[in-house]
A = this chain, B = another copy of it.
């Protein structure tokens, strides 16, 4: 990890500079508007949001309600995480003494285990006894996992005890899901008397990206109206198709139509702002995560001419979810790059309750500016934000580091608000 900061490698940053200036000038309105929104719709317990910064546009592309990657945050801002965790616990269940974190099933992914152990440590520092449990059936007793950082992560099998879940006599008040439940709602978690956060319906077996982006679009429009900006500057155009089967090539007409519609709409926006780039769209499964079933296309023909391998790839999402609803979304270029070899850098912002606690860049060297940085098997180097996202400096340039991070925090909170409304 270095403390360098990615550079925007495009000169097409006029609209974004204007947006950043605007967010700074109208910061009191931004924060006041957000405070009012949280009173109406409480924020999810935590979330991470993947952003794309094209210089002319800053938009969320993915909102994760079961965030991993806490280990990639700047350790200097651990106190910020601890304080936000205290606020989150206080709002949800102030009497909690214990929290049980339910981890993802891929317990052999040591990077993930570093994250869940960091999360556990945040709660310990916040003053809760915190332990990690697994839903995996092949874990029948507590195991110790040695981590690359030198820490040890302890994972125990989750037990159902009446209307509660527990690890032996460790029976928590708060059960925190860090498992996105792609395989469906686990029976062991149904009908608990304990506080479960996020709720089961936040899992990918229920949640749809199209719902999220429908809410996001409304949030972005309301926000843009408050701030007198074009909502397109902060939101990707999105359409959806139902009943798509890539293997059987059914539903492809809808896809092709929507791809063309979007490409035209994007081109119109590019013309409006004088942006000399080729529009592209992202086609992805409406449910699921981990970048499976995602492709980038620059024309509808590409979709109609997929080979068998590509069609197979689009048909599978994590843990065997069959793709049928498909999202067609405006592709947002990533023009933030780092170092001499122009490694692409994608910001990820972390929030606990409605507080922005930090972020990092996914820095990837061998990948293009219009490609998905969160694809399966992808390797990235994390670059922790050197500064917080909540200390803007009005006397500095609008795109100076603290101000760029502030803008990231604002847009990430818009996505968080969309998720809050999705779960409401």
Most buried by B among A79, A84, A129, A394: A79
Chain A residues 342-387 with CB under 8 Å of chain B are 355
A383 to chain B, nearest CB (A): 18
Q: Does A317 contact B (CB under 8 A)?
A: no
Are B86 and A355 neighbours in the complex by a CB distance under 8 Å? yes
Q: Does A208 contact B (CB under 8 A)?
A: no
A114 to chain B, nearest CB (A): 17
Q: Which residue of B lies closest to A79 (CB)?
A: B388
A191 to B89, CA, bound (A): 36
Residues of B within 8 A of A86 (CB): 31, 355, 390
A394 to B130, CA, bound (A): 13
Q: Which residue of B lies closest to A122 (CB)?
A: B391
Residues of B within 8 A of A388 (CB): 78-79, 82
A391 to B77, CA, bound (A): 10
Are A79 and B391 neighbours in the complex by a CB distance under 8 Å? yes
Q: Does A324 contact B (CB under 8 A)?
A: no
Q: Does A29 contact B (CB under 8 A)?
A: yes
A305 to chain B, nearest CB (A): 50
Among B31, B79, B124, point to the contact of A127 (Cβ < 8 A).
Answer: B31
Q: Does A145 contact B (CB under 8 A)?
A: no
Q: Which residue of B lies closest to A93 (CB)?
A: B35
Residues of B within 8 A of A11 (CB): none
| Contacts A36-B94, A39-B94, A94-B35; A78 near B391 (Cβ below 8 A) | yes
Q: Does A187 contact B (CB under 8 A)?
A: no
Q: Which residue of B lies closest to A99 (CB)?
A: B28
Are B76 and A76 neighbours in the complex by a CB distance under 8 Å? yes
Are B129 and A97 neighbours in the complex by a CB distance under 8 Å? no
Are A28 and B98 neighbours in the complex by a CB distance under 8 Å? yes
Q: Does A221 contact B (CB under 8 A)?
A: no
Residues of B within 8 A of A96 (CB): 32
Most buried by B among A97, A98, A125, A355: A125
A390 to B35, CA, bound (A): 25
A330 to chain B, nearest CB (A): 29
Most buried by B among A35, A94, A98, A392: A35
Q: Which residue of B lies closest to A76 (CB)?
A: B76
Known pairs A35-B95, A82-B390, A83-B84; list 16 more (Cβ under 8 Å): A27-B124, A28-B127, A29-B97, A31-B127, A31-B128, A35-B90, A36-B95, A77-B79, A78-B391, A79-B80, A79-B388, A79-B391, A82-B391, A83-B390, A86-B355, A125-B392
14 A-B contact pairs sorted by A residue (CB < 8 Å): A28-B97, A28-B98, A31-B86, A31-B127, A35-B95, A36-B95, A38-B90, A39-B94, A83-B83, A83-B84, A83-B355, A125-B390, A125-B391, A126-B390
Query: Which residues of A pack against B, CB within 8 Å?
Result: 27-32, 35-36, 38-39, 76-80, 82-84, 86-87, 89-90, 94-98, 124-129, 355, 388, 390-392, 394
